[in-house]
């Protein structure tokens, strides 16, 4: 029995210590996150490493340590300490991506780290090893093609861009990019062998024409196809064929300009339609109630009239019923405040003589039988208030 109790106590103690470690690690992570947001990467790095020493079960700590190392890295600085930050960032992000290979943000951070540290070969090796287990990953193939282009290895870059057209064969942009790469090669860094240049031109033309066939108004692809036809004209030894190539390029150029003109006209018509629709909605809203829908301040008198009516309604809600008409008369400027104050005792006493001495009118007394309130027992102003209230409802 004592043995069982000891085992239970030991288990509870270990669980409590495990829970304390979790809490301590989370507190360290919280402090490190605060430092990272302030761009104090050195303090953040210490906090993340401390949290990992306490509890290494948090997989995101590898990523955050790598990000902190990237924050401490200074591009173009070849000092050993700075290179150590690059090595640590690459190691941490690589370890993290093995656990979570689908995190594309971390992968982009790793690529940028490779490029900033001029370690293109290491980046290519990483993606090649990644493609061994993920052969259909289009983003990885694009990354390798870009890295080879940055490295200056055009032939390998062109091969990988061609692989992109195979993996993403339904996307005209993939063929467009391949054609652009071909043009950049023959226009800016042409090969010494004329046959190789012609081969590259033909590949680019075929890719761009395929993109145009998929998207008939793809004027960007047409523009580069026009340029490749002109590059082909430069390789011709027969002047007649060269003129035919130039004529074909002019035909494509004119078609491109016509599509651009049509797109601009359509965009202008769309903007004009949008403006007309907005103007019509504003006019319709103003015709319904300009006091509420005059957003541009075009009918300020109506808006001010509405505001005055609102003030009057607020005042009349707090006035006693016998003085509601007097309150409106004061706001309308028909009677002075002194006359309104003098009418109060006259209304309370009901004495007609006192009412006349104060300057009031019998027609303004509640319950008077005059034509203003005959048969209703209410003054003329109150009847107007009711009509306005009904209209507002």
Burial class (CB in 10 A: 0-12, 13-18, 19+), 231: buried
Residue tagged 């027969």 (tokens): 238
Picking from 129, 167, 160, the residue whose alpha carbon sits closest to that of residue 143 is: 160
Picking from 212, 193, 214, 192, the residue whose alpha carbon sits closest to that of residue 204 is: 212
378 three-class SS: coil
CA distance 286 to 303: 11
Please answer whether residues 346 and 358 qualify as being in contact, where contact means their C-beta atoms are separated by less than 8 angstroms: yes
Burial 163-179 (b: 16+ CB within 10 A, else e): bbbeebeebbebbbbbb
Residue tagged 């109506």 (tokens): 302
> What pLDDT score does 139 carry?
87
> What pLDDT score does 2 carry?
56
Residue tagged 């007609």 (tokens): 352
Rg (C-alpha) for the chain, rounded Å, is 41
Residues 6+ apart with CB under 8 A from 284: none
Picking from 122, 30, 123, 113, the residue whose alpha carbon sits closest to that of residue 72 is: 113
Q: Distance between terminal CA atoms of the chain?
A: 82
Burial class (CB in 10 A: 0-12, 13-18, 19+), 375: exposed
Number of Cβ within 10 Å of residue 183's Cβ equals 21
Picking from 208, 220, 215, 197, the residue whose alpha carbon sits closest to that of residue 175 is: 208
Give how far the C-alpha of residue 240 lies from the chain's centroid of Cα atoms, to the nearest Å. Answer: 54
CA distance 384 to 329: 11
CA distance 146 to 153: 10
Could you give the C-alpha distances from 319 to 316, 325, 328, 387, in angstroms and in order? 5, 10, 10, 18
> What pLDDT score does 203 carry?
95
DSSP 157-196: HHHHHHHHHHHTTT-HHHHHHHHHHHHHHHHHS--S-HHH
> What pLDDT score does 59 carry?
77
CA distance 292 to 163: 61
> What pLDDT score does 364 carry?
43
Burial 127-152 (b: 16+ CB within 10 A, else e): beebeeeeeeeeebbbbbbbbbbeee
**DSSP H helix total and E strand total for the chain:** 18, 0
Please answer whether residues 75 and 112 qualify as being in contact, where contact means their C-beta atoms are separated by less than 8 angstroms: no
Could you give the C-alpha distances from 364 to 231, 369, 373, 377, 389, in angstroms and in order? 98, 10, 9, 10, 20
Please answer whether residues 294 and 303 qualify as being in contact, where contact means their C-beta atoms are separated by less than 8 angstroms: yes
Per-residue pLDDT of the chain (393 residues; tens, 9 = 90+): 556 555 555 545 454 454 577 788 888 889 999 999 999 999 999 999 988 888 888 878 899 999 999 999 998 888 999 999 999 999 999 899 888 888 889 988 998 898 888 888 888 998 888 888 888 889 889 989 988 988 888 889 999 999 999 999 999 999 999 999 999 999 988 999 999 999 999 999 999 999 999 999 999 999 999 999 999 999 999 999 999 999 999 999 999 999 999 999 988 888 888 888 888 887 777 676 554 444 555 455 555 555 555 544 544 444 444 444 444 444 444 444 444 444 444 444 444 444 444 444 444 444 444 444 444 444 454 566 666 666 665
> What pLDDT score does 205 carry?
96
């Amino acid at each position: 029995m004592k043995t069982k109790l000891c085992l239970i106590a030991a288990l509870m103690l270990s669980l409590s210590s495990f829970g304390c470690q979790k809490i301590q690690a989370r507190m360290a992570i919280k402090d490190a996150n605060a430092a990272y947001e302030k761009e104090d990467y050195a303090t953040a790095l210490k906090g993340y490493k401390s949290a990992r020493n306490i509890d290494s079960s948090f997989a995101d700590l590898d990523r955050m340590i790598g990000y902190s190392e990237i924050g401490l890295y200074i591009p173009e600085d070849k000092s050993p300490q700075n290179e150590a930050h690059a090595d640590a960032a690459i190691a941490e992000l690589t370890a993290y991506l093995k656990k979570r290979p689908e995190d594309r943000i971390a992968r982009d951070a790793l690529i940028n780290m490779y490029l900033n540290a001029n370690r293109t070969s290491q980046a290519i090796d990483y993606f090649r090893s990644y493609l061994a287990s993920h052969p259909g990953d289009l983003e990885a193939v694009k990354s390798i093609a870009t890295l080879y282009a940055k490295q200056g290895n055009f032939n390998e870059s062109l091969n990988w861009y061609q692989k992109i057209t195979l993996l993403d064969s339904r996307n005209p942009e993939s063929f467009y990019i391949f054609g652009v790469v071909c043009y950049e090669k023959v226009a800016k860094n042409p090969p010494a062998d004329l046959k190789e240049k012609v081969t590259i031109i033909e590949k680019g033309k075929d890719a761009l024409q395929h993109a145009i066939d998929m998207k008939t108004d793809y004027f960007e692809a047409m523009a580069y196809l026009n340029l490749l036809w002109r590059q082909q004209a430069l390789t011709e030894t027969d002047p007649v064929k060269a003129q035919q190539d130039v004529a074909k390029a002019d035909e494509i150029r004119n078609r491109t300009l016509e599509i651009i003109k049509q797109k601009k006209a359509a965009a202008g018509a769309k903007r004009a339609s949008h403006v007309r629709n907005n103007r019509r909605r504003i006019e319709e809203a103003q015709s319904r109630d300009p006091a509420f829908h005059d957003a541009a301040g075009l009918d300020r008198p109506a808006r001010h009239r509405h505001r005055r009516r609102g003030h009057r309604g607020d005042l009349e809600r707090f006035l006693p019923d016998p003085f509601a008409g007097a309150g409106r008369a004061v706001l309308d400027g028909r009677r002075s405040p002194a006359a309104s104050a003098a009418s109060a005792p006259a209304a309370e006493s009901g004495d007609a003589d006192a009412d006349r001495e104060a300057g009031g009118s019998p027609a303004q007394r509640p319950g008077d039988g005059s034509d203003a309130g005959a048969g209703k027992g209410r003054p003329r102003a109150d009847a107007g208030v009711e009509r306005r209230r009904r209209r507002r409802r």
